[in-house]
Amino acid sequence: MVEPVQAKSKAEMQANKRVKESGGIVEIVTIIVQALLIALVVRTFLFQPFNIPSGSLIPTLEVGDYLFVSKYTYGYSRYSFPWGPNLFSGRVLGSPPKRGDIAVFKWPKDTSIDYIKRVIGLPGDKIRVAEGRLFINGAIVPRRQIGSYRTQDASGKEVEAPYYEETLPGSDPAHPEVGTVTHRIIQIDGDSGYYDNWPRGDDPNKSYEVPPGEFLMMGDNRDNSLDSRNWGPVPFENLVGRAEIIFFSIKTVPGQGEETEPAWQFWRWPWTVRWNRLFQPVR
């Protein structure tokens, strides 16, 4: 009578072991699925990571910067969701961007592509760039030179560009002196091949009137930026979110233009990461 009991006990032990093993696998899969769902919710409704691939926002943002974009600031549109499903039109919740915000948006010419620029023109504004100066609603935007900035022009040539501090008027047209935004820009000489960002032969003094529900976006690297001056204003619906903070920054490869050091080579981080840029707010 003892042997059958022992055999049964061994069988039960093996069965229990299999149950525990299968239960462990199910638990691991459940944890992974939950983590993915949480990440999807955070990315869709709260914050989305974004990296800077070009120098159009130098000196504010540099190639190789990685930042978080708040999704809730401007509310939600179809482009707040992965793949931009046509669930509804317009936006829900949130509020329109303010002048001076740095915003990520879907490029009007191809909404599969993300762009990041600064909000310069609000609905109804008249914007003009002439001889390197920005005019908003007929008034010249004040600026002061604070030094020089070493960068590349449109051809990739190293140049020393004037470095300015510019003060944008507030978003309320009745009180433009309230809520002003001061930021920094660089301006490359027109001989680099671009004049006020217009290829030679086009009108460098063209004015832009921003339509209702749209925004005029520009880069801080004024003469080396493809922006609304080239492809028009951006519909409110296309906005993805507002740039908030830099969480990582990797240097570019010397002599290779906008090519960055491999971020995955963590053992090289001590000399390839721009440590002074980490956790800097985007303004």
Q: Residues with catalytic annotation?
A: 56, 117
Closest CA to 65 of 77, 50, 45: 50
CA separation for the pair 273, 275 (Å, rounded): 6
215 in Cβ contact with 106 (< 8 Å): no
Q: Tokens 């069988």 appear where? A: 11
CA separation for the pair 253, 260 (Å, rounded): 5
Length of the chain in terms of residues written:
283
Q: How far is CA 256 from the centre of its chain?
A: 23
Handedness of CA 17, 19, 24, 25 (dihedral sign): positive
CA separation for the pair 220, 218 (Å, rounded): 7
User: What is the CB-side half-sphere exposure of residue 270 using CA atoms within 13 A?
Assistant: 1
